Amino acid sequence: MGKLMVIAGNSGPFSDFGPYVPSINDRGEVAFFAARRGGATGVFCGDGGPIHSLHQKAAYRSHPDINERGMLCVLADLADASQVVLVGEPGAAPEVITHEGIPSVGPLGPTINASGAVAFRAASAAGRAGIYLAAGGALTRVAEAGDRFASFDGLPVVFDDGSVVFRANHVDGTQGIHRRLRDGTNLTLAQTGEGFVELGRFPSGNSRGTVVFCATRPDGSSGVFTLAEGASAPVPAIESAKAYEGFRGALIDDDGRIVFYATPSGGELAVFALDAASAAPRRIIGLRDEFGTCPLTDFALNPVSFNNTGQVALRLKLADGRQFIARLDVFE
């Protein structure tokens, strides 16, 4: 399994960590949502030592993402019922980075890059679903439902170069994974009807421009695929019609190492690691694994949960009701 460090558990001041995933930065700091005993919720972070909290300014309602500077971003409802995106550092009052032209934020949470730019899903005043980027005090509409896009899925992922990768459903019924460059250019990275019949909801990528995603072929087989910057077509990182019943999501670091979560044929949902493109997958952790004598009944992660030092942040739940926010060393 690798070294597992518990960041927080529900035997003390916290009662519940659901339903959101934790995030992690390259310093090994893990950010997470939690409900305190008594009902209040908050956003917290830690690296195995003391737990720090984001100043309680709102009712938080998404996973928090954390960047290398320790800045946190999260979706929230303010006391006046307005929906906003907040950015801040633990111990300080977070800043609202959305405005009245964006009355509804979400669903799902935001992502943040090293410079503090934040990508998120929201609806405009006209009710149109969209992808937005807040950077340097400016708010940019990356994509909006209309002539081309019908709706969006998963998380928009913002990279350090200011580009944003997102998954969209098109008006013509196809699905696509897109990258909006800093200059406004929109690149289609993958699309159904061109070798795929279904695209995973959570594409991700690394700072070197490689994007990773799950997809299903016309013959029903599925796999994890990567598309390097400048490449003309995706290539399979792992593809098997027999070994796996389905792939849920995949993450990639700057060294090209991949973590994916999938259900093996006849087995339970689990997390796997690919050390290199030609390597066999290693099973890391999965449902029904024993912790002492108690089996794991639930875990959660998504594109914000993997860093560049080989660590994954996970929300774990055991059969006896215990819950943990944990950091797992996948590549050592």
* pTM as predicted: 0.95
pLDDT score for 278: 65
The answer to whether residues 109 and 121 touch, using CB atoms and an 8 Å cutoff, is no
Phi, psi of 73 (to 5 degrees): -130, 150
Residue 200 contacts residue 213 (beta carbons within 8 Å): yes
Average pLDDT over residues 251-262: 96
Please state, in angstroms and as integers, the Cα–Cα distance from residue 282 to each residue in 140, 210, 225, 238, following that order.
Answer: 40, 21, 17, 12
Give 14's contacts (C-beta < 8 A, 6+ positions apart): 8, 34, 35, 36, 37
Average pLDDT score over the chain = 94
Percent of the chain scoring above 90 in pLDDT: 83
The per-residue pLDDT for 93 is: 83
Strand partners, 29: none
71-95 residues labelled b (16+ CB within 10 A) or e (exposed): bbbbbbeeeeebbbbbbbbbeeebe
Q: Please tell me the distance from the alpha carbon of residue 87 to that of residue 282, in angstroms, as a whole number.
A: 36
Could you tell me if 310 and 2 are in contact, meaning their C-beta atoms sit under 8 angstroms apart? no
